[in-house]
Amino acid sequence: MKSVFLCENAEAVKNVYSDDTVSLLEKTAEIDKKVYSKIDILSSPDSFKNTEYIFSTWGMSQLSAEEIKKFLPSLKCVFYAAGTVQYFARPFLDCGVKIFSAWAANAVPVAEYTVSQIILANKGFFRAQQKMSVGKVKEAKEFFSHYKGNYGVKIGIIGAGMIGKLVIKALKAHRLDVLVFDPFLPDSTAEELGVKKCGLEELFSSCAVVSNHLANNEQTKGMLTGSLFSSMPPYSVFLNTGRGAQVVESELAGVLETRPDLTAILDVTEPEPPLPDSRFYTLENCILTPHIAGSSGNEVHRMAEYMAEEFSLYKNGGKTKYEVTNKMLETMA
């Protein structure tokens, strides 16, 4: 088999790869419609010795370098129709197998979600609607009066990767002033984006909304501390669509308890979902959503389409767009 679907979650493949994309891959990649698992490969090694291309998504099988060399000796590329490849990529890369990821496609809905939340946050929507929905009209209006709207307000973006850049470009169209914390962002790129680079302390202490898009790695764990949240201006908002591990959540909860004017909108937590006794469930100024920012519904088809296009570029000697290298894994989400 020249190309196969490899994933521990067959339903995920069927959900992400639309019928049109599968039909295209049957023609261009000679793919078998069946979704194989790691057990299938290990139990029938001769069946995969000529496999050159793997297509996958959430639930991609994890293989060691030794297993890849033994059972997939002809493998050239893995096309991953989802975002982060951190959990499986390194052994493949170490064996000389190219990895392509749909992180750019997955960035689109996250950016769309983030921008929508920032626009609403600047209008005081989240807290005002809580009060108004239970008939507390006076309190709703009082909360609303403290927000400055969406013109000339400072927004802090933590991490200017693919998602961060998409968010920044959209925010600039709303005439918002954007501050960015990202040690890896070149000054020239910051100038092109029209943003100001600064440290976390300045960003948190001066922005109406702070949105986290840090890459998820050991260096970023616990980076966002209680002292940063305590420094936020009155009636400001923290939005997290990155990872919960980047926040010292016990300290965030403590600040939210003492600062009822602040609001946290958490689409991700550590763990996910929060434990049953988490203070986040009882805090009125903490709004939780079940990791909905990423690709969902029909949006997931975009990821498979990106990978089908990437395969076509690779096969025909074109310039691919979304290859992931070992070096990139040091800073990618």
Neighbouring C-beta atoms of residue 30, cutoff 10 Å: 13
- Predicted pLDDT of residue 215: 82
> Edge-to-edge, what's the strand order for the sheet holding 77-80?
31-36, 3-6, 53-56, 77-80, 98-101, 323-324
CB 39 within 8 Å of CB 66: no
Query: What burial letters (b/e) apply to 310-329, b meaning 16+ CB within 10 Å?
Result: bbeebeeeeeeebebeeebb
The pTM assigned to this predicted structure is: 0.83
- Predicted pLDDT of residue 191: 97
**107-288 fold:** Rossmann fold (3.40.50)
Taking 50 as the pLDDT cut, the residues of the chain under it are none
CATH code: domain 3-101+297-329 is 3.40.50.720
- Predicted pLDDT of residue 23: 97
- Predicted pLDDT of residue 275: 96
Judge if 3-101+297-329 and 107-288 fold alike in CATH terms: yes
* Domain range annotation of the chain: 3-101+297-329, 107-288
- Predicted pLDDT of residue 256: 98
